[in-house]
């Protein structure tokens, strides 16, 4: 399970990074349909921060500090800084999956920070799958937002 999760995480990171690289601050802050939509910067920070939290819960590690509301206020001033933040968070996600411990995927978990729409009782397996499906959803959002940005410049 953990090896498969690492593969999905690595593919997701590889899919997101090119959408961030080479983009200007304007591109990274652009909201394709106004203030009710999310920019590439917001999507990158939220997706990776959320993934880091859910992966920690899945493997039974302490939950990292998180300010979910702040993720959605992300404003990129320096594209290199966003890329560094993205890479740091990706590394922290990989570290969560570096465990060699046996994990009882049917064991229950209780997230303490921003449990969101999780069922009342969740298992380690549910948490791992949720972390990855939520990440993949935002990979697609981020890629599409970059495509829309690039298309408006053509």
Identify the pLDDT of residue 101. Answer: 85
Assign 115 a pLDDT band (cuts: 50, 70, 90). low
**Which DSSP helix (H) or strand (E) runs through 2?**
helix 2-20
Q: Which CATH number fits domain 2-153: 3.30.1360.40, 1.20.120.450, 3.40.640.10, 1.10.10.10?
A: 1.20.120.450
Largest CA distance in the chain: 51
- Domain limits of the chain? 2-153
CB 12 within 8 A of CB 142: no
CB 48 within 8 A of CB 90: yes
**Chain center to CA of 126:** 17
Identify the pLDDT of residue 111. Answer: 82
Lowest-confidence range among 50-59, 65-74, 116-125, 127-136?
Answer: 116-125
Q: Residue 143 and residue 131: Cα distance in Å, rounded?
A: 19
What sections of 21-123 are H helices per DSSP?
25-29, 40-59, 68-71, 79-96
CB 86 within 8 A of CB 17: yes
Assign 99 a pLDDT band (cuts: 50, 70, 90). confident
Identify the pLDDT of residue 121. Answer: 76
**Chain center to CA of 93:** 9
- The verdict on pTM exceeding 0.95 is no
CB 152 within 8 A of CB 26: no
């Amino acid at each position: 399970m953990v090896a498969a999760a690492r593969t999905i995480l690595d593919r997701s990171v590889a899919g997101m990074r090119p959408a961030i690289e080479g983009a200007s601050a304007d591109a990274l802050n652009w909201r394709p349909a106004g203030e009710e939509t999310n920019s590439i910067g917001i999507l990158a920070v939220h997706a990776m921060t959320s993934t880091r939290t859910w992966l920690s819960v899945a493997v039974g590690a302490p939950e990292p500090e998180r300010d979910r509301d702040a993720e959605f206020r992300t404003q990129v001033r320096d594209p290199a800084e966003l890329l560094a933040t993205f890479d740091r968070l990706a590394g922290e996600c990989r570290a969560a999956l570096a465990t060699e411990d046996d994990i009882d995927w049917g064991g229950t978990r209780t997230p303490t920070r921003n449990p969101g729409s999780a069922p009342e009782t969740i298992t380690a397996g549910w948490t791992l799958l949720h972390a990855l499906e939520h990440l993949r959803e935002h990979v697609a959002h981020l890629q599409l937002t970059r495509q829309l940005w690039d298309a408006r410049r053509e």
